[in-house]
Chain A
């Protein structure tokens, strides 16, 4: 294969990767936070956003819709983020989906135990809507 042809194919592969329309599931009981995150990711990054208002709904939508990543609120009234993470990790349909925790409060020991459970990372809450997609991409090492 000529160098040019090889280089062109590399560019095409890179373009395909960079144009991937990511799908992100947000699990948070606060509608306003979900809405701002969705507006941010759809407008700035052009990603598709799925919303879930509870852990139960989130686990079900994760299995059904197979998002590329899950943003999970730590403090929810029905089932908290830690328990939700365990449920996601124990289900073969969702165990491979990276989960990022959205929280204002994570003690270092909590963080370590959550990482042992398979947590991919933590995003601070409140988040900046103009940079949320950059933070997610950086945490998951996604190509932009």
Chain B
């Protein structure tokens, strides 16, 4: 961590602004993953949507971690692995998928609050 508290505080302010600016992009990635989860539950997840959701989960992992949401980032990476082409998605995994998504949403909501403080 930077040893200069003033610079670190300034960076935190700027990161909060950046979070608000890019929140829509983050939501789009989250929605792509959420839609894939819903489609998988009804057996209608196509390879194309699965690939899109896999990419969205990868990007979500990167951006959430960079904004300090390490747990949510790790969970997004797990979802990315679940959505890899050819990986099995059985009912038990789909339950876990949904639970993990809920944890990511919690993380994002906590970051929203932090960005508004």
Contacts and interface: CB of A to CB of B under 8 A. Distances in A.
B113 interface: no
Given A32-B22, A36-B15, A129 B66 contact: yes
Contacts of B1: 128, 130-131
Interface stretch (B4-12, B38-46, B87-95, B98-106): B4-12
Interface residues of B, number: 26
Interface of B, secondary structure class, is helix
A43 B73 contact: no
Interface in B5-39: 7-8, 10-11, 14-15, 18, 21-22, 25-26
Contact of B66 (A31, A36, A44): A36
B67 interface: yes
Contacts of B111: none
B62 A130 contact: no
B54 to A, nearest CB: 11
Interface of B: 1-2, 4, 7-8, 10-11, 14-15, 18, 21-22, 25-26, 58-59, 61-67, 70, 73, 77
Given A32-B63, A44-B7, A131-B1, 7 more contacts: A43-B11, A104-B61, A104-B77, A126-B66, A127-B66, A129-B11, A130-B1
